[in-house]
Structure 1
Amino acid sequence: MLIITKRVQSAVQRLVGGSKRANLLSPSSSCGFFVTLGCAPASIKAHGASRTQGPEPRRCPSIYSHQESCWPLLASYSSARACQNSSCQEMADHEVAGKIILDEVEETLKKLLLDVAEFIEKNPLPSEAETSAVLLPDELKKAPLELRFAGGWVRDKLLGTPSHDIDVAINKMTGEQFGERLKEYLDVPGNAERYGLGDAKKKAGSLTKIEKNPEASKNLETVTTKILGLDVDFVNLRKETYTEESRNPVVEFGTPEEDALRRDATINALFYNITTGQLEDLTGRGLSDMKNKIIRTPLEPYTTFKDDPLRVLRLIRFASRLGYEIDAETKKFMGNEDIRKFFLAKITKERVWTEFEKMLKGPDPRRALSIIHELDLYRTIFIDPANPKLYEPDTKNWAEAYNTWHDLLDDGNELASTLVKSKDECFLSWFLASMIPWADAPEPTPLKSGKIPPPLATQVAVAAFKPPNHVLNVLTPSIAHLLAIREIKDRREKARDSLGMAIRRWGASWRSQVIFAMLYEIYTEPGKKADILAHYSEFMAHITSLGILDAHLFKPLVDGTALAKALNAKPGPWMKAALDVVMAWQLRNPDITDPAAAIEEVKLSDVVDTSTLAPPAKKQKKGQS
């Protein structure tokens, strides 16, 4: 059942007025009104995009949890993304549920939390022990303890999407206070076993306190733990008051309505009150926006984004994940210059990366990039905040790159299936697509030491969102080998040894580097896209036919020690070049396993002058003269 406060009653009446699918609005209690909403299948509204950004992707509501990414490739990618697919069409027509139905684990968690609440009410701590940086108003001190499942879990539950993350909002205790009492309750002999928590895999984990950081627009302190295999966060309902003198808010205990209005989107402001069993839409728009596939802010957008500019990225992520439209008024302020300045000044690079990574691992990375492009947010996200004029990337043809890559993946194209072999490679390919406008940046100035710093693309990625090293270790060689990949592809190189040795030079991420080179060419010469794709298809097909897709993993027929012994030479720096000669010979002679001819090849090369080298002297045994 849904509870809507009197303050939003009129909005609900407007919403359901005249609708044959809505029951009559009826008063139920002094605290609010109840209404049951039946939801008709919502049509997918076409996303307005400029011609530059290309055709809007076919999209359907996410049928994956947020942990899923770039599904088991690549035929699955195609079938899961195309809304003509029967299973996907069924999801597109799926109605938003009108009530919350808990599974067995969630029911157990609910019972546990309600029992803890009862335990707290019956065993209150002395007031002096209930210390908190957040002041509890007098009117709440005598109120009953209420618990609500909040935010994304409620949204996903209504969409029929599994979620293993649950936020528990508490009306009169901080998350830390409730977490400590939960721990106290479970320490009572026999209590943990009542909920199946005797099993080490299901028992409640330790409490982790996540401190607030107002300077980074993280204004709420939370406590997180793992219970019954679920990640559970405890936090108090809050309101935030801003003053002219400070950009950081005063955080206080708030009402459920105040808490809902401070959230990033109406669809994320829904509550499931486990104390009453009611579904609560306290903004008056959450359920209707879900029904109509709309993302909007509960308050006017400028205030919402000013309070926490990271919400700009969060809304893009939800739009791309769910296939929803961002409300026009909300969208207008996402690209607002003031909000851009707040974003650059307040948001930490780690928080930016968390959101951006989720976009690229979500069901529709192209949609996320297209919204960033449409709202001119590239210069907000892909920038060094400390050096904004380092380079001005040109995004004019960027859409040609990410649209092409989407289409290749979406069609289950053979080229794409050769270039991408895992979910992580799929994610990395989208990251590289996002960095294409930085490929044209000038080479960095050498340091005084003579050392060449990383490419500007790598430098700005670190400054903007600090991706992990395994991501940077793909971006950097993609820039470094860009020209080499294009050159060997353009000359239609056929020799197995030349191609194999090039792959070994490019390293383990060479296929990702080829993706970057291909998308860069399309970005720079979009009119030649068909020819570019044909040439790269031919290039990869030839490499496949030669059996050298994994050339970077090939082992030499002879190792360095054995080679030095065969050459009667001392081990030394020459060995690397000599082993390359061995490997090139192997690539020319894939059916021969005897290394003798390869060793002769080394002798005939100029990588080692064996006439000047002698084997190391043998150590004499004791007693020998």
Structure 2
Amino acid sequence: MDLASARSAKLLTSRRIASHRFCFLSTQTIFFIPSRRTLGFHFRGVRCGAGVSAMVAEPRPVVKDRIDLTENEETIFRRLLDVVDHFKLNTQLRVAGGWVRDKLLGKDCYDIDIALDNMLGREFCEKVNEYLHSAGEEQQGIGVIQCNPDQSKHLETARMRICRTWVDFVNLRSESYAENSRIPKMKFGTAKEDAYRRDLTINSLFYNINTTSVEDLTGRGVQDLKDGYIVTPLPPKETFLDDPLRVLRAIRFGARFNFKLNEDLKEAASDDEVRDALMCKISRERIGHEIDLMISGNQPVRAMFYICDLQLFYAVFTLPENAQPEIVEGCNRLCVSHIDAAWNVLQLVGCSTFSDEQRRLYLYGALFLPLRNTAYTDTKSKKIPVANFYHPNSLKLKDK
């Protein structure tokens, strides 16, 4: 967008942005740079940066009392119950996690994960195919996703198409963690044990297909959803030390739904031991994946605000040791103020102005803009901008 079109859109005269200045880095990219007098939101009671737009109070979400199934979902669940009845399996079928949460919020969700109480996912999929064969219907291919702890996949998952929809199957489980490891020891568990091992109470809900009822086995998942709170089923520090990636997941879901982070959760997330565990136990690839989901999501500024507020910015966006000039105190907050200003411009010009990829790179560029004059020396004694360090090293993303 050129200057003329910006004027025609009244961007330069808007009261909301009158105290900012524009920096045009190319004919396609505008960075919105806040002046000193506009930096003004609160981090733990200290005025220190942008984020006003991201932290506006949101109304409480409307949570349904029951789950309304689509016609396709009814067909899928009926077929699964037919399999249970045909083989007299005495198996309870539960849809787990995000699908239940989203359906209660009145949102569409096509990610159906079935938790089984007395058999493995692969075994149940084979029973589905046996049933299809006996009914003279075409059998379906079964995909098995093996355990992959580096990708936070701790248990084998089976997948197959049912009524033109991919459905995942996994057994209910309980888990325990060895010291200094985020890879749990898994075993069959009860539905309640499975609910408590999950990252957040709003993700611990089940929809029991057999009884057509929502099961809130932590006793607070539905209420936290109604109140708009991000809470862990077990004590948060224990939860985060078991798997520090859950800190970033809590931030991502809090930002996505405009939910408040529970005070105990915030205290645990800011704990030095948890921060060190995040840096030492979690691969950079997994951290980068969570950050990329935040930046690509509907509330990237709120997510970055939480990361900064919880003193996790430099645990996520690690710096090379020999960066010069040295990063000044408060630079992390300035980075958040820049992405907030850039986000404001994006709302004014319209998100459809850019593709998803352009929007993503634009926000990354704004976030790292305060570091544009900081460089480090590589092994070949070549000076590299610090911003170029983040994607391939801190986040392990493609270096575009």
TM-score by length of 1: 0.52
1:462 lines up with 2:397 in the alignment: no
Structure 1 residue 218, shift from structure 2 partner: 4.1
Query: Do 1:216 and 1:347's aligned partners in 2 also have CA atoms closer than 8 Å?
Result: no
Equivalent AA in structure 2 for residue 408 of structure 1: V
Kindly indicate which of the two structures has a greater share of residues assigned to helix: 1
**Aligned counterparts of 2:189 and 2:392: Cα–Cα separation in 1:** 38
Secondary structure class of the residue paired with 2:211 = coil
> Hey, what does 1:110 align to over in structure 2?
77
Cα deviations by residue, 1:305-351 (Å, 9 ceiling, x for unpaired): 11211111111111111010010100111122222222222222332
Of 108, 116, 124, the residue aligned with 1:178 is 124
Structure 2 residue 156 is the aligned partner of structure 1 residue 221: yes
Aligned mate of 2:374, from 422, 441, 451: 441
Give ranges in structure 1 of 5+ residues lacking alignment.
1-45, 62-82, 84-91, 123-143, 193-202, 474-625
The C-alpha deviation readout for 1:417-452, integer Å capped at 9, x for no partner, is: 8xx52222112212223333543332434728xxx5
* Distance (Å, rounded) in 2 between the aligned partners of 1:346 and 1:181: 39
Letter in 2 for 1:407: N
Aligned pair partner of 1:168 in 81, 92, 114: 114
Tell me the matched-pair count. 354
Whichever of the two has the greater Rg, that structure is: 1
The answer on whether the counterparts of 1:217 and 1:346 sit within 8 Å (CA) in structure 2 is: no
Q: What percentage of residue pairs aligned between the two structures are identical? A: 37
* Alignment match, 1:402: 339
Residue pair 1:240, 1:249 contacting (<8 A) in 2 also:
yes
Report the structure, 1 or 2, having the larger strand content: 2
Secondary structure, counterpart of 2:265 in structure 1:
helix
Q: 1:458 to 1:427 in 2, by over 3 A?
A: same
2:307 is aligned with 1:389: no
| Residue type of the alignment partner of 2:346 | L
**How far has the Cα of 1:395 moved from its partner?**
1.6
Higher RCO, 1 or 2 (CA under 8 Å, sep at least 6)? 2
Alpha-carbon distance in structure 2 between the residues aligned to 1:352 and 1:229: 33
The residue number in structure 2 matching 1:259 is 194
Equivalent-residue separation in structure 2 for 1:226 and 1:360 (angstroms) = 31
Distance 1:337 1:444 in 2: 29
Note if 1:332 corresponds to 2:278. Answer: no
Matched, 1:431 2:367: no
Taking the aligned partners of 1:302 and 1:342, their CA distance within structure 2 comes to: 11
Alignment partners' CA distance in 1, 2:50 and 2:220: 32
Aligned pairs for 1:527-546 within 5 A: none
Structure 2 letter corresponding to 1:375: L
What secondary structure sits across from 1:160 in the alignment?
A: coil
Task: After TM superposition, give the deviation of residue 107 of structure 1 in Å.
Answer: 0.7
| Structure 1 residues 238 and 455: alpha-carbon distance in aligned structure 2, compared to 1, 3 A threshold | same
Amino acid at match of 1:100: I
What is the distance in 2 between the residues matched to 1:397 and 1:246? 34
Distance in 2, Cα, partners of 1:156 & 1:47: 30
Whether the aligned pair in 1 keeps the contact of 2:125 and 2:142 (CA below 8 Å) is no
Equivalent positions of 1:169-568 (< 5 A) are: 169-188=115-134, 190-192=136-138, 204=140, 206-213=142-149, 218-243=153-178, 248-383=183-318, 389-391=321-323, 393=327, 394-412=331-349, 420-445=353-378, 447=380, 455-468=385-398, 472-473=399-400
Contact 2:173 2:190 in 1 (8 A): yes
Does residue 54 of the first structure (1) align with residue 21 of the second (2)?
Answer: no
Over 3 Å counting, the alpha-carbon distance change for 1:191 and 1:405 in structure 2 is same
Q: Find the residue that maps to 2:318 and give its secondary structure.
A: coil
The CA deviation at 1:49 is: 6.7
Q: Distance in 2 between matches of 1:399 and 1:434?
A: 6
Q: TM-score, normalised by structure 2?
A: 0.79
**CA spacing shift, 1:113–1:395, aligned 2, 3 Å:** same
Mapped partners of 2:362, 2:234: distance in 1 = 36
Distance in 1, Cα, partners of 2:363 & 2:347: 13
Note the aligned Cα RMSD (angstroms). 3.0
CA distance 1:162–1:339, change in 2 (3 Å): same
CA distance in 1, matches of 2:87, 2:386: 56
